[in-house]
Amino acid sequence: MSRFAAVSLRLLLPLLALLAACGTQTQEETGPSAGSSPSPLSGRTVTYTPSNEIFPNPERGFRPGRQMGQSIGSTSMAGIDIEGMRAQGYTLFQGYISLQNYQHSDIPGWYLDELDRRFERVRNAGLKVTPRFWYTWGGTTTADRSRIFRHIEQLAPLLRKNADVIAAFQAGFVGPWGEWHDYANLSNDDLRAIVYRLAEVLPQNRKIQLRYVHTLRLFVPQGFSEAQAFDPNHIASRLGHHNDCFMVNQSDAGTYAWDNPQRDIDRNYLQSMTRYMPVGGEMCGDVPEAGYDPYDRRSPQGQLAELARFNWSFIANDFGNIDRWRQWGIYGTIESRLGYRLALVESVVPEVAEGRRLRARITLRNEGWAAPFNPRPVRLVLRNTQGGQVYSLNLEADVRRWYAGTTQTLQIDQPLSGVPAGSYELLLHLPDPAPSLERRPEYAIRLANQGVWEASTGYNRLNQTIRVP
């Protein structure tokens, strides 16, 4: 824990310095009349029209599953169509990585090199991946703690190098498919140690998804608070959840306890944390309309409510209940509301930046089922209307706190140091924070409004201009 805490603190200090330097206040509102009233600001008001278009956005949505490493039962590498996924509307996929040939040996260098090349292909294709390492595709795993730790040590440079295209990391290694069931030679202390070791290896801003509620309780027996969710020294800030048998039966095949009252306790426990977690997964079979379900998950509205209740960000669409969703007419609703769906509501901007300060108010709403689960900058871009020169202001805002169903108001009051006199259009930019990706528009968040998105830049036009004297 001491190394985990030290690394976390080191990474936190630059963020604290950045926040202290910013001149932006963010107000969260849960509805049109909630929260404190914004401070008076005179200027031109623009009201934005929401869009019903379904479009891709980073780290959310439907995702396919692919073998990213060796083929099952083979020493050859599995074929994988990474380059074609973006054209199919995907921004994310589940990458299963086989270690089946190395349960009793080190991972060879050629395999690590090939995996590195595959991560590079992910980056070149404009995608992200949720990797999961596995030892057996069914059956019982026999790799013990020392072997798993040795493999994590070998994989550490690969994972750190490619963390920019890892949306979330699934704990893996344990049990068939890396799902943390039907394993031998591992105690609860071993399971805890594996997750803490992964937390040390991965960057502090990457979360580790676990499937089972009883496993999450090994780390946070009573759940955790919002403060703990954002405390880099607390393991809560590193936890996520994946449910790989979503809605298949009352317990989701053991994700929750099989029987009540513990099953309801487990569901309430998980719900109390998922707004702060990356939540994703798959259905391990078709969920029938017939049959009793105490949570009303045999109807279209019941299944939508379940996805919303647990703040789902991504789900497999290559098997399971997909055809039924299409028949019910809810496939598009799920596609648009998985994860975040951020939309501009209103902006107020003075015509002139008096005193060479930019004062403005921007209001957005999240119509999705979850907040973005990874941090990213929020930038107000000034682009000269004559020459096109661009200047960016970092705003004090944490998109991970833009929770489902909430309205956010950005109160901006910042000096325009270094911005020459002239007329500027204003744009909102939510890029990926990684230096390797921040200038790539396909990794920026697109807002769900008509007439604002610039596909060539990744900017969202506010349709406002300001004159800097």
Q: How confident is the model at residue 37 (pLDDT cuts 50, 70, 90)?
A: very low
What six digits make up the tokens of 248?
């298949």
CATH of the domain at 376: 2.60.40
Task: Assess contact for 416 and 468: CB atoms under 8 A.
Answer: yes
pLDDT over threshold 90, residue 29:
no
Strands of 128-134's sheet in order across: 65-67, 92-98, 128-134
Q: What is the mean pLDDT of residues 375-381?
A: 99
Of 356, 350, 349, residue with least CA distance to 422:
356
259, 404: one domain: no
* CATH number of the domain where residue 79 is located: 3.20.20
Q: Are residues 283 and 349 in the same domain?
A: no
Helices (H) and strands (E) in the chain, counts: 10, 19
The DSSP call for residue 347 is E
Residues 179 and 232 occupy one common structural domain? yes
Question: What is the per-residue pLDDT for 77?
Answer: 76
Q: Are residues 329 and 464 in the same domain?
A: no
Domain end point (choices 284, 304, 337): 337
pLDDT at 17: 39
Looking at 280, 306, 337, the residue that finishes a domain is 337
User: Is residue 5 a part of any domain in this protein?
Assistant: no
pLDDT above 90: residue 24: no
Q: Rounded distance, CA 421 to CA 391, Å?
A: 12
Say how many domains are in the chain: 2
Is residue 269, in this structure, part of any structural domain at all? yes
pLDDT confidence of residue 26:
66
pLDDT for the residue numbered 6 = 40
| DSSP conformation letters of 281-313 | E--SS---SSS--TT--SSHHHHHHHHHHTT--
The answer to whether 215 and 203 are in contact (CB under 8 A) is: no
Q: What is the pLDDT of residue 78?
A: 79
Instruction: Answer whether residue 185 is part of any domain.
Output: yes
Assess contact for 428 and 447: CB atoms under 8 A.
yes
Q: Are 251 and 263 in contact (CB under 8 A)?
A: yes
- Average of per-residue pLDDT across 86-114: 96
Q: Could you tell me which of 403, 330, 413, 327 has the C-alpha nearest to residue 369?
A: 403
Give the pLDDT confidence of 288-324 residue by residue, as tens digits.
666 788 999 989 999 999 999 999 999 999 887 888 9
Boundary-marking domain end, from 311, 337, 363: 337
The model's confidence at residue 285, banded by pLDDT at 50, 70 and 90, is confident
Q: Range with the lowest mean pLDDT among 5-9, 135-139, 143-147, 370-374? A: 5-9
Could you report the per-residue pLDDT of 421-461, keeping only the tens digit for each? 999 999 999 999 999 999 999 999 999 999 999 999 999 99
- pLDDT computed for residue 430 by the predictor: 99
Give the range among 318-327, 366-375, 410-419 with minimum mean pLDDT.
318-327
Whether residue 67 sits in one domain with residue 42:
no
Single pTM value for the model: 0.91
Q: Per the domain annotation, does 10 fall within a domain? A: no
Average pLDDT over residues 343-356: 97
Instruction: Indicate whether 49 belongs to any domain.
Output: yes
Apex CA 20: angle with CA 426 and CA 347, to 5°? 25
Report whether pLDDT(14) > 70: no
Mention every residue, 6+ apart, whose C-beta is less than 8 A from residue 223: 269, 272, 273
Q: Which domain holds residue 131?
A: 61-337
